[in-house]
Amino acid sequence: MTGAPAWNTFERRMREVCDLEAVGQLLVWDEQTYCSKRGHDTRAFQQAALASLVHERVVDGAYGEIVDELAESPNGLSREHRAMVRVVKHDRDRAVRLSPELVRALAAQGSRTNAAWEQAREERDFNVYRPELEKMIALKIEQADALKEGDERYDAMLDAFEPGMTTAELEPLLDGLRSELVPFARRVLEAPAPDDAVMRQHYPSDAQWDFSLEVLRELCFDFDAGRQDLSSHPFTGGPGPTDVRLTTRVNERFLPMCVLSTIHEAGHGLYEQGQNPAYLRTSIGRAPSLGLHESQSRFYEHVLGGSEAFWEHMLPIARRYFPTQLDGVDLTEFVRALNRVEASAIRVNADEVTYNLHILLRFELELALIRGELAVADLPEAWREKMTSIVGYTPKDDVEGVMQDIHWSWGELGYFPTYTLGNLYSAALAEAMSADLDIDQAARSGDFRSILDWLREKVHSRGYVVQGEDLMREVTGRPLGHEAFMRYLTERYTRLYGL
């Protein structure tokens, strides 16, 4: 089969797979929001059946022949069509190395491990979680062994989230960041911290929820193409750019939890809604890497959402929802309180100075798990030791410690480094954006559309035509590094803390 018939067959199968994967995303979202407790077991069977169906479609031999043919003879294909073939071939080459039994087992175990994680958190007992997590880690090691190109299992995990990146590239990048970040974080932590009592008043849940929706509208999130709900761990999912599902969570005694979670997930959601319509239901209608996706949430949450200019516009709006709590609160003091730096337990609530320290410990632990150097049974103690030595905080229990994140329950090992990559990318993007528009002036005037338009043109609409690092190099003119991020942190926190 050659020419147009080959392409038409390829396109039909590619779109079918994208549609099935979108259904899977909807099932995951429902499981984290509205699925009943007793529904998790049956959801595991549904996820396994769907994953098996997708796997069968992807590894089909006849389809593989067409993919290989188009990859080897791309004459007549547009740049975008060649990219679609390249991405499908990459994903298919991974899929054919996995047995249908392993694919089903991973999908089913994800639901079971997640259910055990939820129960263990409620009962504050790691031993409830441990057996299911051990099964998941064993399956992930089996998966890595099937996928790895060389001796490093973790490369296979990274490739699922950061295609093209290797452990050998990532480790020195994180070491370089660590060498500058750790002493800088210590300087900030040793300085007098701002009073954040304004953030720790009673903020009613209903008012926080309503304010979070107002924030989303201000940031130009399209509610005709998405929604927000509550979950125990904020995330963004959904079937695609015309139906984006955000979640947030509320703490009535700590305003930033809901506000910053909403702004963070808005960054993800705006990226999804900004995908090129021409790429809908294709292999390139997505971000080229999770790090690049994370750059959008980190940009919105911190670069924009932590700035005084942003709150010069948003604080008067917030006062409408919290008139008693915010009456007479000074803008500068509010922003200093919002950006308070402290060694703390929970990653998703961590300030941006210490946040990457949380990622470093997770990277080290999951690397050891995948290499077989650390047993699941030893995770709680290993977590406590690294939290104390790296972050400077000792968890009170395993809910504050090893059970705070959902990622390992889903089998997402190799995911955590994308958060740090997102921080590095976000600072580099902010520097590039500043050359074209005044970010502070746009935020101060509530002109979030101009910021979004820049991101839509430079990042969102580009899809997965090129890999993440290549796209960032095009937009910023620089290779991946930690320098822009450290410049950003140094400027902001030297000013906020009077260093």
Residues with active-site annotation: 265
Alpha carbon distance 204, 207 (integer Å): 5
For 6, the 3-state DSSP assignment is helix
The DSSP call for residue 18 is H
Alpha carbon distance 17, 88 (integer Å): 10
Cα–Cα separations (whole angstroms), residue 218 to 34, 263, 373: 27, 10, 48
CA-based end-to-end distance of the chain: 68
- Collect all residues with Cβ–Cβ distance below 8 Å to 264 and sequence separation of at least 6: 234, 297, 298, 300, 301, 305
Could you give the count of Cα atoms lying within 13 Å of 20 in the half-sphere of its Cβ?
Answer: 19
Tell me the chain's radius of gyration from C-alpha atoms.
22
Residue with tokens 């808005």: 266
List the one residue out of 411, 485, 469, 419 whose CA is nearest residue 267.
419
Alpha carbon distance 445, 270 (integer Å): 20
- Collect all residues with Cβ–Cβ distance below 8 Å to 388 and sequence separation of at least 6: 394
